[in-house]
Chain A
Amino acid sequence: MDLGYLWAGFSVALSPLNLAIGFTGCFLGTLIGALPAIGPINGIALLLPIAYTMGLPPESTMILLAGIYIGAEYGGRISSILLNVPGDAGAVMTALDGNPLARQGRAGEALMISGLASFVGGTLGVVGLTFFAPLLSTLAIGFGPAEYFVLMIFAFATLGSMVGSQPVKTLIGCVIGLMLATIGLDATSGAYRFTFNEPELGDGIEFVVLVIGLFSISEAMFMLEHQAKGGSVIKVAGRTFARWADIVRCIGPALRSSVIGFTVGVLPGTGASVASAVSYTTEKRLSDREGTFGKGDVRGLAAPEAANNATAAGAFVPMLTLGVPGSGTTAVMLGALMLYNIQPGPQLFAERPELIGGLIASLYIGNILLLILNLPLVRVFSRVLQLPNWVLVPGILVLSIVGVYSTHASVLAVVMMLGIGVVGWLLRKLGFDMAPIILGFVLGRVMEVNLRNALAISGGDLSILFQSTISIVLWIMAAAMALLPFVLGRLARRAAAPSPQVS
């Protein structure tokens, strides 16, 4: 297999600027992951407009966002272990054994073991991504409008597994996103739709406005509403270096869970929470002979941590090769590419090898940086758990407004962002998830344009959607995907864990 793209990617990722950007991303990501309230998607939403306005080239922006993404998967474990509150969705299962360990005065060891497991999972995931991505992208040239449309159908079919528990609300959220995507200049007929003669709406609702409104503003309102109760943070005391015997016991679980995590990550629409739940239950069945899982078993800690980090890497596979986001976070990253006028899709690998290679190379480097950051500096990160909301909420609001205004230089955009934030907050109170809205919005325009183009080619004959092999395979996969959540959902339910929003 030709891995030339990866070596070229390393020369991109190792340039001083990108190395510094990658480090910044990893550091911020760990912080963001450690904070219980905000996950990687909020962090990415906040930093994207800033990176864009600073004039960073697309590969640097992607390296920054990817650093935040994988950094947050590392950071999420800190609050799970010390606070028994998962820092992000993927770290839910980490608390099951991590927090009991910390209560036994072994917090330092727990953090180290989980840090090592994260590294194993993250690195194996990237290795998988390296070999998997070029394979899928060889399909590129066969993709015409009809195939793209079916690909989008496939992407939407995967939505069911994204939230799972409330399929109707997921569908409604997705339709809201689709509807929002119709605002603005219609790319086929050139007509303005739903703009109310307001020129600023001519290009539709800007992606940054929607993302920041839905994720940052509504999150800030949520935090104001539910004041976090401080005080139960467990101090990192005792020995900080794990016992060698414990590390050896974790090798098997970490390797198995990495494979599970990566596989789940590759399937579009299934996030880190599913992966860590599946790996935890698998490991419990395989190795828990003494019944110590849930009471502070290091293996129960290593398994979900390895899995959620491998998932993050796996989620890049459909995003980079097909342009189908595997999670809410990768949906935002796709939107970031579009902000740079880069159309994600099967042709991306051929057209922008430096972008993809640089991103993948930065993931290798990022995992090493994160291991270095997370072992000695874990006490520093544990401090942010005490950061009070009266610092955090105004900080988020200021960053949001500055971000939107600097990207679009328009007061209307800021007002719209705030309005969308309030609506998002209401929807979340009603139990809606924000990720399907973003997915509907990102994919909706692509889907509509390609359907209309396919029909323009065939002169209105619907059979064009079923003609090529690629289309037929995609239709079958879409049908399978729609059924998959029931299977995975049953597996995840055995873990009997409440799953918060998808990250």
Chain B
Amino acid sequence: MKTILVNALALGFAGLMAGAAVAAPEKTECLAGAKPGGGFDLTCRLAGNSLLAARLIDKPMPVTYMEGGVGAIAYNHVVGKRSSDPTLITAASSGSALLLAQGKFGQYDESAVRWVGALGADYGVIVVAADAPYKSLKDLVEAYGKAPGDFPIGGGGAVGSQDWMKGALVAKSAGQDPKKMRYVALEGGGAVLTALEGGHIKIAAGDAAEMAKHHAAGKVRILAVMSPERLPGELKDVATAREQGLDIDWVVWRGFYVGKNITDAQYQDWVDTFRKLSETPEFAQEREARGLYPYTVLGADFERDVKKDVERFKALAAEAGL
């Protein structure tokens, strides 16, 4: 008990010393628009844990959960009730941009909040069963183009979700109509794997971090990573889609937004804090522990990227007839 107290005091004191240079507000809070344990929770904890470890905040950042509509409730809450609260950051992902593009966040669009920055990313992958005859994405696209009806495509989300979009990009590359794709909406990556192993689907769309270990274990085969460059680690031997002549990237970034009505200085404080954070070894460690690849885009760059994403998703959705 005593040692805990002493440690806590020491930590607090150290925090106080570092506090002089800290730009983040005294009290902070992270809003996760889902249940504990989901992607938004992971994003909040990445920021919270590494900010504390790097001593950029003194007190642990509490995570508040507001489940509903894959972040829609949290978005409406921030816009409607907390738009001038400088202590609150809310977790978001490229999925949020996709939902915004499809008007699934209610009456508000992407300019109803301010986008602070992305701290990490995952990338889309195209996966087939370990015993499938296709060795490259090119083989698969060719075969798909000949008989699209033989290839049920599975993903961990509904029609219009990120996994569906990845499937649609494959269908488009094969010169087929994404609307006619046999898409199977499964519940999460685990169900996708089971369906692939059981032969119920022929192609799976997923995320690199989750599929990498199953690829390494020989349970499935990743044909391509949808990133601009090859990914480090277990997937370093998997070619990118670009290398195989298909221009289909899919970045799943994870980042944060804040209320629209905080002052420019308060916004800049968060951007500076994250910039400082992204250069610390503590952050690199936390990011790796959460299976995310390096991807840091902050401030005005991020605002522009999000808007660009939303435009791109709108175009894709229109093309796919959503």
Chain B residues in 8 Å Cβ range of A456: 152, 182-185
Contact residues in B for A144 (Cβ distance below 8 Å): 195, 198-200
- With A200-B73, A203-B67, A457-B152 as known contacts, state yes or no: A190 contacts B157, CB within 8 Å: yes
Distance in Å: Cβ of A273 to nearest Cβ of chain B: 34
Across the interface, A457 reaches (CB within 8 A) one of B106, B160, B201, namely B201
CA–CA, A409 and B77, complex, Å:
13
Q: Is B133 an interface residue (CB 8 A)?
A: no
Residues of B close to A143: CB separation below 8 A: 198
- Given A141-B197, A199-B76, do A453 and B184 touch, yes or no (CB 8 Å)? yes
B104 partner residues in chain A, CB cutoff 8 A:
190, 192
Query: A457 with B157: in contact, given A199-B69, A199-B73, A343-B187 (CB under 8 Å)?
Result: no
> Is A105 in contact with chain B by the CB < 8 A criterion?
no
Q: Are A199 and B152 touching (Cβ within 8 A)?
A: no
CB distance from A414 to the nearest CB of B (A): 15
CA distance A273 to B248 in the complex (A): 60
**Interface range for B:** 35 or more
User: Is A351 in the interface zone, CB < 8 Å from B?
Assistant: yes
Query: Does residue A197 face the partner (Cβ distance < 8 Å to B)?
Result: yes
Q: Assess whether B37 is interfacial by the CB under 8 Å rule.
A: yes
Closest CB in chain B relative to A448 CB, distance in Å: 11
Give complex CA distance A199, B78 in Å: 13
Report chain B residues within 8 Å CB of A351.
190
Q: Are B73 and A186 in contact (CB under 8 A)?
A: no
Given A186-B158, A190-B158, A199-B69, A457 contacting B182 (CB threshold 8 A)? yes
A457 to B183, CA, bound (A): 7
A interface residue count range (under 10 / 10 to 19 / 20 to 34 / 35 or more):
20 to 34
Q: Which residues of A contact B158 (CB under 8 A)?
A: 185-190
B183–A199 touching, CB < 8 Å: no
Across the interface, name the chain A residue whose C-beta is closest to B35.
A341
B18 is an interface residue with CB less than 8 A from chain A:
no
Give A200 to B157 CA distance when docked, in angstroms.
Answer: 20
CB neighbours (8 Å) of A55 from chain B are 36
**Nearest-neighbor residue (CB-CB) of A351 within chain B:** B190
| Interface of chain B: mostly helix, strand, loop or mixed | loop
- Measured in the bound complex, the distance between the Cα atoms of B69 and A197 in whole Å is 11
Q: Which residue of B has the minimal Cβ distance to A457?
A: B152
- The 0/1 profile, CB within 8 Å of A marked 1, for residues 22-51 of chain B is 000000000000011100000000000000
* Chain A residues, CB < 8 A from B106: 197, 199
Complex interface: chain B residues within 8 A of A186 (CB): 158
Q: In the bound complex, do residue B68 and residue A203 qualify as a contact, i.e. CB atoms below 8 Å apart? A: yes
- Tell me if A347 and B194 are in contact (CB < 8 A): yes
Task: Note all chain A residues with C-beta closer than 8 A to B195.
Answer: 144-145
CA gap between A351 and B193 in the complex, in Å: 13
A/B interface sample: 9 pairs, CB < 8 A: A141-B197, A143-B198, A189-B160, A190-B159, A190-B160, A190-B164, A200-B73, A456-B152, A456-B183
Which 8 pairs between the two chains have the least Cβ-Cβ distance? A202-B69, A190-B158, A144-B200, A190-B160, A457-B152, A188-B185, A453-B184, A189-B159
Q: CB within 8 Å of B: which residues of A?
A: 55, 141-145, 185-190, 192, 197, 199-200, 202-203, 341, 343, 347, 351, 408-409, 449, 452-453, 456-457, 459
A55-B36, A456-B152 given. 19 additional CB < 8 A pairs?
Answer: A144-B198, A145-B184, A145-B195, A145-B200, A188-B158, A188-B159, A189-B159, A190-B161, A190-B164, A197-B106, A199-B68, A199-B72, A200-B73, A202-B69, A343-B190, A449-B185, A452-B185, A453-B185, A457-B182
